[in-house]
Amino acid sequence: MTTNVPNLYACISQYLRPPAEIDPHVAAHITWLGEQDAAGRLVASGRQLPPSGGAIILAGESREAVQALLATDPFVVHGCASYWIFEFELNPDPIRGRLMDYFLSEAFGASAP
């Protein structure tokens, strides 16, 4: 089954360092996430509970492009985290989710900063 949407990637990170070594890079990581959002690549992100890493859903051209992008995450640059990347295909309407429909809409692009 194929859709006319960008490739989507669930990117699951695992912290490689203790919190005291990660905390100094949190602000830069959040800035990086904001840059991905502004560029229209970020679908969703959040920290795992309990904090052991995070999850990011990205829209990308290819797995290689997403790998290259994740390599610029300050957590990766400073050796604080690594990522597993899972490409996935959206289910067709009506079971792909209303929020995804909004993400794919012109309204989402118009609301970007």
| Complete domains list, the chain, with CATH | 7-111 (3.30.70.1060)
pLDDT of residue 90: 77
* pLDDT above 60: residue 13: yes
Phi/psi for 86 (5° steps) reads -125, 115
Give 16: exposed, middle or buried? Use CB within 10 Å, 0-12, 13-18, 19+: middle
Between 84 and 101, name the one with better pLDDT.
84
pLDDT of residue 3: 47
**pTM (2 decimals)?**
0.80
pLDDT tens digits along 27-84? 999 999 999 999 999 999 999 999 999 999 999 999 999 999 999 999 999 999 999 9
pLDDT of residue 2: 46
Q: Enumerate the H helices of 1-113 as residue ranges.
A: 19-22, 26-38, 63-70, 74-77, 98-103, 106-111
Between 110 and 103, name the one with better pLDDT.
103
pLDDT of residue 107: 74
